[in-house]
């Protein structure tokens, strides 16, 4: 008898748990599964094509040479060699003193200058400089993404070249003004919803990219940067991205800031799709250099992104000095200033 009824009883149990309409734990489990189903990420066709094109052409933002920064000492050692220095400062600033051999160009004119004014690849390096290295970092990223793989930004800008520029630039810009207003809360990023629609009307990734690059250079530089005063006056107004290491972030960050890894964010749709496209985005790091590169990439894809001027140096400088060894901060100091020659 046991051998006859056991299979029947087992079959009954299997049928009971196989159908959602049956009462029991199965119905509860089904409800839980439904809860964790996430909303599909919406990525437009043009965005997909541009992402694909950039990845097929070197995936610069996830390469070993990103961000492309060069020290002032290396630039000085390279003077007279096969390099080109492009100074992005105003004509008046350039006339008052510049690095020997440098040419002065406006940000808006760079695409045409690289296309018809020079033969970019005849140089070993093309080095962009400005007052503090913030604009040159942003611009270097755009030019690298356009395919100019020999472009670099001089770290700290002219502030690292000569004391005169340091006093007017970085040494004037550093501040500990807001370090008592930092928070330690680990803020969670929102769910991924999508990325901005580019809407160029073009059909290939290369064409879409060229159109977006032209637009960014045409827009100029007035809207790229944001100050600590602006951000701390109303942090809730912005979606704030912190690019620091985990331990630095947890030791204190701008209220509401959400940490993203410097690697594995740009070019990854699941990561970028969590960044709101309907709100101003502020990106910051320790020095403003890395955030300049990241901001260029986000703006290329249609985000209303801005890089925080001077990074952490601009609002928690004293804290960085105190914790320089413990947390490997990179504050700008007199030791970063050289005494290299300028010409008129």
Contact 168, 161 (CB under 8 A): no
Q: Measured between alpha carbons, how far is residue 82 from residues 146, 165, 177, 326, 340 in Å? A: 22, 26, 43, 40, 19
Domains of the chain: total: 2
Contact 151, 128 (CB under 8 A): yes
Tell me whether residue 183 is in a domain.
Answer: yes
| Structure tokens, 267 | 């070019």
218 in the same domain as 198: yes
* Residue-level pLDDT at 40: 65
Q: Which residues contact 293 (CB under 8 A, 6 or more apart)?
A: 61, 66, 67, 68, 137, 138, 140, 141
Tell me whether residue 81 is in a domain.
Answer: yes
Residues forming beta bridges with residue 128, ordered by sequence position: 86, 153
Tell me whether residue 241 is in a domain.
Answer: yes
* Residue-level pLDDT at 195: 96
CATH number where 141 lies: 3.40.250.10
Tell me whether residue 215 is in a domain.
Answer: yes
303 in the same domain as 188: yes
Tell me whether residue 27 is in a domain.
Answer: no
* Residue-level pLDDT at 290: 98
215 in the same domain as 144: no
183 in the same domain as 290: yes
308 in the same domain as 201: yes
* Residue-level pLDDT at 198: 96
320 in the same domain as 200: yes
Which residue, of 113, 138, 172, is where some domain finishes?
172
Which long-range contacts (C-beta less than 8 Å, at least 24 apart) are formed by 38-41? 38/191, 38/192, 39/191, 39/193, 41/192, 41/193, 41/194, 41/269, 41/270, 41/273
pLDDT by position in tens, the chain (length 344): 334 433 433 333 333 334 344 334 333 333 333 333 445 677 999 999 999 999 999 999 999 999 999 999 999 999 999 999 999 999 999 999 999 999 999 999 999 999 999 999 999 999 999 999 999 999 999 999 999 999 999 999 999 999 999 999 999 999 999 999 999 999 999 998 899 999 999 999 999 999 999 999 999 999 999 999 999 999 999 999 999 999 999 999 999 999 999 898 999 999 999 999 999 999 999 999 999 999 999 999 999 999 999 999 999 999 999 999 999 999 999 999 999 999 99
What predicted TM-score, i.e. pTM, was given to this entire model? 0.88
The SS3 call for residue 91 is helix
* Residue-level pLDDT at 262: 87
- CA nearest 123: which of 145, 152, 90? 152
Range of the domain at 299: 179-327
């Amino acid at each position: 008898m046991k051998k006859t009824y056991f299979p029947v009883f087992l079959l009954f149990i299997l049928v009971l748990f196989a159908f959602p309409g049956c009462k029991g734990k199965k119905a509860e489990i089904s409800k839980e599964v439904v809860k964790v189903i996430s909303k599909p990420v919406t990525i437009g066709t043009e965005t997909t094509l541009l992402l694909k094109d950039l990845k097929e052409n070197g995936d610069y933002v996830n390469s070993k040479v990103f961000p492309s920064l060069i020290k002032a000492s290396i630039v000085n050692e390279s003077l007279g060699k096969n390099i080109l220095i492009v100074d992005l400062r105003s004509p008046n600033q350039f006339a008052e003193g510049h690095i020997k051999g440098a040419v002065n160009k406006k940000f808006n004119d760079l695409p045409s200058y690289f296309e018809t004014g020079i033969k970019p690849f005849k140089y070993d390096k093309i080095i962009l400089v400005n007052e503090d290295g913030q604009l040159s970092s942003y611009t270097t990223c755009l030019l690298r993404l356009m395919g100019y793989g020999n472009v670099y930004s001089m770290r700290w800008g002219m502030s690292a070249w000569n004391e005169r520029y340091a006093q007017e630039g970085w040494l004037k810009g550093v501040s500990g003004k807001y370090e008592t207003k930092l928070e330690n809360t680990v803020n969670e990023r929102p769910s991924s919803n999508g990325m901005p629609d580019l809407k160029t009307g073009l059909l290939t990734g290369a064409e879409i990219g060229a159109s977006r690059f032209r637009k960014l250079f045409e827009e100029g530089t007035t809207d790229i940067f944001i100050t600590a005063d602006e951000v701390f006056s109303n942090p809730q107004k912005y979606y704030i991205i912190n690019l620091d290491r985990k331990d630095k972030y947890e030791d204190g960050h701008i209220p509401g800031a959400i940490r993203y890894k410097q690697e594995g964010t740009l070019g990854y749709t699941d990561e970028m799709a969590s960044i709101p496209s309907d709100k101003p985005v502020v990106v910051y790091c320790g020095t403003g250099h890395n955030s300049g590169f990241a901001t260029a990439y986000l703006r290329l894809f249609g985000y209303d992104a801005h890089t925080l001027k001077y990074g952490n140096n601009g609002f928690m400088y004293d804290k960085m000095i105190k914790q320089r060894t413990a947390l490997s901060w990179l504050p700008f100091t007199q030791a970063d200033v050289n005494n290299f020659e300028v010409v008129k």
